[in-house]
């Protein structure tokens, strides 16, 4: 096989930026996080922003040009690595006659059809390590510490890092929280002599009968809403109701960087091998996925437009509750 890399994701297909890939190019990158090719969470061949006279921005469909460029390059298969936005675009490109294979990579772990995505384990480890460090100062200074983690509309990262880090309260998007219940938990701990509490909050968490907190809107993006700020809201509400001092730590992009975990290195390698086998066999319109212990191929048509979120009645939620963690209800 001859392999080329598309720079900056779908942007590279629009701007025709490609580089040859060989063993020398990829040697030693297994220990690196991120991507040597670059990426973009804005580029979408079906929605390309164009500025018109007067500064007005309109969006046009350039997918036919992308399909033509893929044909010009002589690609037998296109391998698309990314999250749910990447897979949704991949599904639409496959309908244009492009044979492609998706590979699920996101820290949010929210892609339908796979038990886990690569990137999630590394981010969970980073978040857990941060919670561990915050535990130390929380105990020393007798404070309520609120840690806001990523995850968008799915609570996997907050739930699993919260359990691993010994969070006393975990708030996720799938279970709208009651602030009075959260306050009762931290007040009870304080009265019992446990003069600190760890509250882990997913960026997409929201109060019962309330809305998610939006930090800003990026109009050109395929997913314009940027969540953020719920940690500060939870802390302020708790201070008003309890009088206890609360401090907020927003982990942000700290969770996305650094050295990938051994689990993620192995999973990414297994995904890559399966994707290359599918390409060799002329298979397209699928995404590689983990089902149990097996790496399988699932139709992209089953994935597009769906999000894998936490089931509020899942065994993992029951685990959290049975070790005394408050889920905000």
The phi, psi pair for 250, rounded to 5°, reads: -100, 110
Question: H-helix or E-strand containing 219?
Answer: none
> Is residue 64 among the annotated active site residues?
no
CA nearest to 228, candidates 259, 207, 251, 244: 251
Q: Who's near 120: CB < 8 A, 6+ residues apart?
A: 106, 107, 108, 109, 156, 157, 264
**DSSP letters of 25-91?**
HHTTGGG--S-TT---SS--TTSEEEEPTTS-EEEE--HHHHHHHHHHHT-S-EEEEESHHHHHHHH
Half-sphere exposure of 56 (CA within 13 A, CB side): 4
Instruction: Name the DSSP class of 56.
Output: -
Instruction: Name the DSSP class of 52.
Output: P
| Strand extents, DSSP E, 67-210 | 78-82, 100-104, 144-149, 169-171, 197-202
Catalytic residue among 84, 108, 110, 264: 108
Show which residues are catalytic.
Answer: 108
């Amino acid at each position: 096989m001859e392999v080329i890399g598309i720079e900056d994701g779908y942007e590279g297909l629009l701007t025709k930026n490609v580089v040859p890939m060989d063993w020398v190019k990829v040697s030693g990158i297994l220990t690196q996080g991120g991507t040597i090719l670059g990426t973009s969470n804005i580029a979408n061949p079906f929605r390309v922003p164009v500025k018109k006279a007067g500064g007005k921005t309109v969006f046009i469909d350039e997918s036919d040009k992308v399909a033509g460029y893929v044909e010009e390059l002589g690609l037998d298969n296109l391998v698309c690595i990314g999250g749910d936005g990447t897979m949704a675009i991949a599904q639409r490109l496959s309908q244009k006659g492009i044979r492609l294979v998706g590979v699920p990579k996101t820290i949010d772990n929210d892609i339908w059809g796979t038990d886990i995505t690569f990137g999630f384990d590394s981010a969970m480890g980073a978040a857990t390590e941060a919670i561990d460090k915050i535990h130390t100062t929380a105990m020393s200074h007798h404070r309520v510490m609120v840690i806001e983690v990523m995850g968008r509309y799915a609570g996997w990262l907050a739930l699993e890092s919260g359990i691993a880090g010994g969070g006393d309260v975990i708030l996720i998007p799938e279970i709208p929280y009651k602030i009075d219940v959260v306050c009762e938990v931290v007040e009870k701990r304080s009265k019992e002599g446990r003069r600190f509490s760890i509250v882990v909050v997913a960026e997409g968490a929201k109060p019962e009968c309330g809305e998610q907190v939006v930090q800003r809107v990026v109009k050109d993006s395929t997913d314009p809403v940027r969540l953020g700020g719920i940690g500060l809201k939870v802390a302020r509400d708790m201070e008003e109701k309890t009088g206890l001092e609360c401090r907020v730590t927003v982990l942000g992009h700290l969770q996305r960087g650094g050295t990938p975990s051994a689990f993620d290195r192995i999973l990414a390698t297994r995904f890559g091998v399966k994707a290359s086998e599918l390409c060799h066999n002329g298979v397209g319109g699928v995404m590689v996925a983990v089902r149990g212990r097996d790496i399988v191929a699932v139709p992209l048509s089953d994935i597009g437009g769906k999000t894998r979120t936490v089931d509020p009645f899942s065994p993992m939620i029951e685990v959290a509750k049975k070790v005394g963690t408050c889920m905000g209800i």
